[in-house]
Amino acid sequence: MAITKLTTSDDLQRVKEEHTQFILFKNSTTCPISAQAFEEFEKFSDDVAGEVYYLNVQESRPLSTEIAETYGVKHQSPQALVFNGDEVVWNDSHWRITYTSLTDAAKQFLK
């Protein structure tokens, strides 16, 4: 599945209107941990049946901050989040973002 980039609050609102469940990956283009986690996310996105999105925290700091404040999830980068309706039901960060952890989260939370 293709990964769609989000940059604004309007982008996120549009996704939430179109999909009740989806996965969002937040990354930094200057962090080697983010680069490794993004590779895992890309592999995962090839196999997942659900919707997958990402945002670059340097380019979209306001959206990243909004997500942290709105959903009560401490900002980290890299970070993967599973949205279900108006809740973040799972998140993880840094080296714990792997193909396996993403696949397990999708199986558990994306129906």
What is the tens place of the pLDDT at every residue in 71-108?
999 999 999 999 999 999 999 999 999 999 999 999 99
Beta strands 4-5 and 87-93, pairing class: unpaired
What is the tens place of the pLDDT at every residue in 12-46?
999 999 999 999 999 999 999 999 999 999 999 99
pLDDT of residue 1: 64
Give the total number of structural domains in the chain.
Answer: 1
Beta strands 51-56 and 4-5, pairing class: parallel
pLDDT of residue 49: 74
40: containing domain:
4-109
Q: What is the CATH number of the domain that holds 49?
A: 3.40.30.10
